């Protein structure tokens, strides 16, 4: 896909530090994105209610309503992609954020170019026909890469964009074992230099909560202890 395909999409940047908003907005604008800025969590929620944003870059530490509360409220009504901005000392907040449904996180201080690359990666995978995955029918579980739909026992299951990417990638290579580092590279387009492999662990747990009947003995995504994860068809 050419970069121009994503141009014009609106990115909501939420941070109470004017300098952070200014730098991030400048880099996004340079890449052809439209930028909406918000200083507080309350402002962000008000903007999101209008449905004008395609993706949210959300700082965890915000006045009035903190970023995790904003994320939790957003996930009640929307699967819009959310990339968290967290301080290096806030590891627990990063884990909680992923469990609440964040698609990705970037640790402060961060590279603006890296952040823009993350934005492009997430948005590109949301484009019709850009998943690269086919429809997989495993009986009680159907994963349709073309429509980004998942069905369990005949009922539709809502996954965040990153959760869907993880499940679709695993089920496209049944029984193949992937390490957390490999999944970071293949699904997140990232590396351990930029992200903690615990990101994968949290997302696997979230996907299991949505597709598995027994979390103590998963049917579809199994753990290979000391190695990683595999999909059992």
Q: 89-128 pLDDT, tens per residue?
A: 566 777 888 888 888 888 888 889 989 988 988 887 766 5
CATH topology for 135-231 is Arc Repressor Mutant, subunit A (1.10.10)
| 135-231 has the same fold as 3-124 | no
**What is the tens place of the pLDDT at every residue in 59-89?**
999 988 999 999 999 998 888 999 999 876 5
Render the chain in DSSP notation, one character per residue.
--GGGGTT-EEEEE-S-HHHHHHHHHHHHHTT-EEEEESSHHHHHHHHTTT--SEEEEESS-SSS-HHHHHHHHHHH----EEEEEETT-HHHHHHHHHHT-SEEEEES--HHHHHHHHHHHHHTTSTT-S---EEE-SSEEEETTTTEEEETTEEE---HHHHHHHHHHHTSTT--EEHHHHIIIIIS--TTTS-THHHHHHHHHHHHHH-S-TTS-SSEEEETTTEEEE--
Domains in the chain: boundaries: 3-124, 135-231
**What is the tens place of the pLDDT at every residue in 152-207?**
999 999 888 889 989 999 999 999 999 999 998 888 876 666 677 888 999 999 99
Find out if CATH 3.40.50.2300 is the number for domain 3-124: yes
Provide the whole-model pTM. 0.74
């Amino acid at each position: 896909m050419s970069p121009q395909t994503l141009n014009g999409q609106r990115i909501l940047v939420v941070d109470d530090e004017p300098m952070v908003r200014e730098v991030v907005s400048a880099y996004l604008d340079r890449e052809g994105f439209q930028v909406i800025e918000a200083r507080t969590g309350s402002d962000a929620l008000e903007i999101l209610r209008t449905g004008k944003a395609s993706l949210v870059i959300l700082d965890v530490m915000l006045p009035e309503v903190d970023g995790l509360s904003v994320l939790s409220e957003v996930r009640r009504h929307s699967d819009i992609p959310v990339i968290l901005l967290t301080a290096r000392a806030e590891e627990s907040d990063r884990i909680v954020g992923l469990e609440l449904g964040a698609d990705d996180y970037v640790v402060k201080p961060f590279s603006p170019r890296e952040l823009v690359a993350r934005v492009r990666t997430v948005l590109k995978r949301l484009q019709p026909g850009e998943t690269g995955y086919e429809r997989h029918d495993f009986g009680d579980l159907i994963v349709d890469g073309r429509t980004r739909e998942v069905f369990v026992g005949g009922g539709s299951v809502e996954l965040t964009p990153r959760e869907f990417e993880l499940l679709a990638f695993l089920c496209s290579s049944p029984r193949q074992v992937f390490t957390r580092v490999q999944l970071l590279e293949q699904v997140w387009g990232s590396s351990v230099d930029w992200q903690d492999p615990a990101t994968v662990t949290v997302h696997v747990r979230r996907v299991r909560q949505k597709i598995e009947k027994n979390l103590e003995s998963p049917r579809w995504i199994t753990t290979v202890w000391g190695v990683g994860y595999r999909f059992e068809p």
